[in-house]
Structures are given as structure tokens and as C-alpha cells.
Amino acid sequence: MAIKLGLQIPNFSYGTGVAELFPTVIAQAEEAEAAGFDSVFLMDHLYQLPGLGAPEEPMLEAYTALGALANATQRVQLGTLVTGNTYRNPALLAKEITTLDVISQGRAILGIGTGWFELEHDSLGYEFGTFTDRFNKLHEALDIILPMLKGERVTVDGKHYQTKEAFANPRFRDHIPLMIGGSGEKKTIPLAAKHFDHLNIIAGFDELPRKVQVVKDACEKIGRDPATLETSVLAIALIDENITADMIPDDFKQQAVFGNPEQIADQIKTKVLDAGVDGVILSAATINGYKPGGVAAVGELLKPMLGL
């Protein structure tokens, strides 16, 4: 199933007690599913991110929460946008994603990236290193994860990871959709062209036409039909008719859409879809509490644009 219209749940600061926190997460996933969204994503972070809140604000561990969401939904695909490779042994991640696929009856997506939040690594004891270090770890992890997802036994004696006849059983299906996040033209996009089904392009709106062309070129260079590598953009959606452009921090202006549902849908069309990107994932921050209806309203307007 394609990933064309997704919802990312980026924060859990709802102004409620802990007992009401996960029911609010479920309500958002149910709203997206009822509105025709094809996927729901959580962030794979253990502390809240800068720009969304303080590190101490609520943050659920992604795969535990996704397992529960699998039982609370029936149709939407489920995954992280995206898994930080540095946080888990790759064989364990393969087991987690195949388990999620079994629980959800074939609705798991494996989103993965290098990991980037240095504070999280330093605080929790994960080695951070340079981007090159983390990219090399990701490359080696994929040598373990991808065969395990296919049902193969994997033996790897690498610099960072070692396995002996590692396997994942049970599995619901032979192929779980693979998503990578990023837009690096020398490493990430060529890796996406080689291994992945979907690239979530992390870039400003003004960069998107160029990035789409780089994706096409990378696919053609290795003889892959560019149409087989889906693309999407994560758009920060501030669904509030009282929000104006001057209220958006400069750091977010190239990734945020805002206003009433009609304004947001129009911005997504002109800034994302007209740039040649296949789909959009709305990151609907609920800083002042979850307000039902906004995500559904935007989704209803976007579906005709996306052919849904």
C-alpha cells in the first residue's frame, strides 16, 4: 500500500493526566483512519525535541506505543518517522518490526535513519559520533535487518554489529515497506534508491524541486524506475485560522503549513505536490491540547489532490 497521506503524532503534551495520555493518542489515530489517511507515525525519540518542548515533556517509546495502536486501529499502516538506528541493536529492531507486522496483520512500515539528537544520545548512553560514523552504522545494520525481514538467517561480523545465524520468526509477510528519512545527495538519496520503497524528504519547501530531481537521477543511475521510489514530505501542520505567517519562527517557515484547513491544503498543493513530491505526512503538533476534527478536515481536502 502506498504512503501518500500520513499523520505523524509528534508530541504527547495534551494538558491531561497520564491516564488520559494514551487514549488521546488513540483518538488521533482513529480520526486519521476514519478520514482516509493511509498511515500513522510516531517519532522515535525518548526525550521531546527542541522546538516542540523541553526534554522533560512526555515522550512515549515508539514501538511499545505502536503495538498498542495496532490493536486500536484496523486499516492504517503504522511506523516511526523514523527509527533512530543508534538506539537499538539491528537484530532486535528486525524482531520489533516483524512483531508489529504480526500484531497489526501486515500494516507495519520500517522507517529508519541514522539518528541525530545528540542530547538524547549523551543523556541515555548511546554513542553519537560523527554523521559518517552513524551512516556507516546504518549501512551495516541494513545488512542484518533486510535479510531478516525476508526470513533469511544472517551472519555478520562487522565493525559495529555481529550476528550468528540471526533470524526473525514469526513473520506476517515477506516484504515490509521500507522508508528512509533525509535528503543528503551523496549518501542518503543513493541509499534510498538502492534499498528503499519510500523516501521521506527532509528539506525546506524551496529545496523540493531540486531534491525530486536528484532522486530521479539516483534511480536512473542504477537502472531503477524512479516511479518505484515513492517520496513524501513531513509538513508541520498548525491547524488554526488565527495563525499568521509572522507567527511562524524562521527555523520552521520552510517546513510549516498553517491556517484553516482550506489554506493548509492549498499550501501543501503549491509547496509540496506541485514540486513533484508524491505525498505528504502531516505533523500535527498539539501544543495546546488535542482538538478533534482539524486533521480530518485537512485530509478530506487533500485526498482528491492525491488521487485517494
The enclosing domain of 120 has a CATH number of 3.20.20.30
Provide the H-helix boundaries in 39-155. Answer: 62-72, 90-103, 118-124, 131-149
Q: Apex CA 31: angle with CA 30 and CA 36, to 5°?
A: 95
Q: Judge whether residue 288 has pLDDT over 80.
A: no
For residue 133, is pLDDT > 80?
A: yes
User: Residue 58, Cα to own-chain centre: how many angstroms?
Assistant: 19
298 contact partners, CB below 8 Å, separation of at least 6 = 237, 239, 261, 264, 265, 282
pLDDT of residue 1: 64
What are 160-204's pLDDT values in tens digits?
Answer: 999 999 999 999 999 999 999 999 999 999 999 999 999 999 999
Domain range for 77 is: 5-306
| pTM of the full structure | 0.95
Number of structural domains in the chain: 1
Cα(157)–Cα(160) distance, rounded to whole angstroms? 8
Q: How confident is the model at residue 253 (pLDDT cuts 50, 70, 90)?
A: confident
Cβ contacts of residue 291 below 8 Å, gap of 6+?
239
Q: Which residues contact 21 (CB under 8 A, 6 or more apart)?
A: 12, 14, 58, 60
Look at the block and give the residue holding cell 508489529: 100
Instruction: Give which of 149, 129, 7 is closest to 75, Cα–Cα.
Output: 7
| pLDDT tens, position by position, 6-56 | 999 999 999 889 999 999 999 999 999 999 999 999 999 999 998 888 999
- Would you call 259 helix, strand, or coil by DSSP? strand
* Locus of grid cell 555478520: 156
